[in-house]
C-alpha cells in the first residue's frame, strides 16, 4: 500500500506543534524515543524526523513527499514554491537587532556594517533589494552573542518573544518578514499520493478552522432577532430554534474567538440573554 512520507523537525517547537496537529487530525503515530522513522497506525503515512535545514532538499530530491516546516527555512533554501498551506502555529518574526546603545535610525545604517545570521541567503536577498552593502557572518547558533564578542555590529535572526535579545543587550529595530509553520509538498507526487494528501489537507483545514472559533447559543425575543442576526457572522447564517415560551427563540452560530468580547457587548446591547459559549473541535465544510 502506497504511503505518504512526511518530514517533521527532529526536535523543538516545530516538532511539538507538528505532532499536536497530526493528533488533532486523528492520525495516531507510534513515536518511540529517538526514532527517526515511524508509521501512522490508522492513516497511510510514514513520519521521518529530520533536521529542519535539511528538509527542503529532501523534498526536492523526493526522499519525502511533504513536510511541516518553518516558512523561513523554505525562503532560506530558495524553495518557497513548495509551500502548500499555512498552518497557523509557530508564528515568529525575522528581524534585525542591534545593541541597545547603538544608534539606528533606518536600515541604511547597516551600510558597511557586519551582520551575524544563520540565514545568509535571506539576509543577502534583503540587502540587495534595499541597495545596502554589508558583510555577512554566517553562524550556526547563538547568533545573539555576536555583537557582545565583537564579531558583528548587528544580527538578523528569528524572534518570537524578544526575551533572548533583551538578555543579550539587543533591541529589535526592523522586521524583514513574519512567518509561521507551513505544509510543503513535492509537486511530483503520484496520483495515489495526491489523493492521500488531499485527504490530509481536508483534515488539517477542518482543525485550523476550529482553532479560532467558538460555538455560541443564546436566547432572544423575536423582536430582537433581526438585529442580533445582523451581528452574528455564522458560517452561512445563524440557526434559529423556537422555544416553548411564546415569542422567544434560541439562536445558534459560530464566532471568531478574536472578536468574542466585542460581539458579546453588542449582543447584550441588543437584549440577548443566557449566552452560552462552547469550544469547537472540528469544522467540516
Give the tens place of pLDDT for each residue, 27-86.
Answer: 999 775 567 889 999 999 999 999 988 999 999 999 999 999 999 999 999 999 999 999
Residues 56, 190 share a domain: yes
Q: Is the pLDDT of residue 196 over 70?
A: yes
In a domain, 284, yes or no: no
Mean pLDDT of the chain: 92
Residues 193, 60 share a domain: yes
- Distance, CA of 95 to CA of 176 (rounded, Å): 6
Domain of residue 30 covers: 4-90+180-210
Q: Cβ distance 158 to 92 under 8 Å?
A: yes
Of 81, 90, 49, nearest to 67 by C-alpha is: 49
Residues 184, 64 share a domain: yes
- For residue 119, give the C-alpha cell: 540565514
Q: Is the pLDDT of residue 164 over 70?
A: yes
Q: Is the pLDDT of residue 234 over 80?
A: no
* pTM score: 0.84
Q: How many CB atoms lie within 10 A of CB 5?
A: 19
In the structure, what pLDDT confidence band is assigned to residue 142 with cuts at 50, 70 and 90? confident
Q: Name the percent of the chain lying above pLDDT 90.
A: 78
CATH of residue 12:
3.40.190.10
Chain centroid to CA 184: 13
Residues 97, 167 share a domain: yes
What is the pLDDT at residue 13? 80
In a domain, 285, yes or no: no
What is the pLDDT at residue 11? 83
Q: b/e for 96-132, b at 16 or more Cβ within 10 A?
A: bbbbeebebeebebbeeebbbbbbbebbeebbeeeeb
How much is the average pLDDT of 183-194?
A: 95
Q: Is the pLDDT of residue 237 over 90?
A: no
Domains contained in the chain, number: 3
Residues 10, 84 share a domain: yes
- What's the order of all strands across the beta sheet hosting 154-159? 135-138, 114-117, 154-159, 92-99, 170-179
Amino acid at each position: 500500500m502506497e504511503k505518504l512520507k512526511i518530514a517533521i523537525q527532529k526536535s523543538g517547537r516545530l516538532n511539538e506543534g507538528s505532532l499536536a496537529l497530526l493528533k488533532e487530525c486523528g492520525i495516531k503515530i507510534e513515536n518511540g524515543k529517538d526514532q527517526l522513522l515511524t508509521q501512522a497506525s490508522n492513516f497511510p503515512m510514514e513520519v521521518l524526523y529530520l533536521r529542519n535545514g535539511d528538509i527542503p532538499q529532501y523534498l526536492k530530491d523526493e526522499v519525502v513527499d511533504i513536510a511541516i516546516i518553518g516558512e523561513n527555512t523554505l525562503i532560506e533554501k530558495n524553495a518557497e514554491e513548495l509551500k502548500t498551506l499555512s498552518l497557523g502555529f509557530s508564528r515568529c518574526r525575522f528581524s534585525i537587532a542591534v545593541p541597545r546603545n547603538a544608534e539606528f535610525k533606518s536600515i541604511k545604517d547597516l551600510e558597511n556594517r557586519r551582520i551575524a545570521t544563520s540565514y545568509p541567503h535571506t539576509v543577502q536577498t534583503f540587502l540587495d533589494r534595499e541597495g545596502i552593502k554589508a558583510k555577512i557572518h554566517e553562524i550556526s547558533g547563538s547568533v545573539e552573542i555576536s555583537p557582545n564578542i565583537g564579531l558583528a555590529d548587528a544580527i538578523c535572526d528569528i524572534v518570537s518573544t524578544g526575551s533572548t535579545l533583551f538578555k543579550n543587550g539587543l533591541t529589535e529595530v526592523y522586521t524583514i518578514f513574519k512567518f509561521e509553520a507551513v505544509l510543503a509538498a513535492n509537486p511530483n507526487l503520484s496520483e495515489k499520493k495526491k489523493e492521500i494528501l488531499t485527504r490530509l489537507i481536508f483534515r488539517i483545514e477542518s482543525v485550523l478552522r476550529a482553532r479560532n472559533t467558538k460555538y455560541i447559543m443564546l436566547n432572544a425575543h423575536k423582536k430582537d432577532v433581526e438585529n442580533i442576526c445582523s451581528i452574528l457572522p455564522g458560517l452561512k447564517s445563524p440557526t434559529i430554534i423556537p422555544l416553548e415560551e411564546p415569542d422567544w427563540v434560541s439562536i445558534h452560530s459560530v464566532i471568531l474567538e478574536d472578536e468574542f468580547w466585542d460581539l458579546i457587548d453588542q449582543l447584550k446591547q441588543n437584549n440577548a440573554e443566557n449566552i452560552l459559549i462552547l469550544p469547537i473541535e472540528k469544522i467540516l465544510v
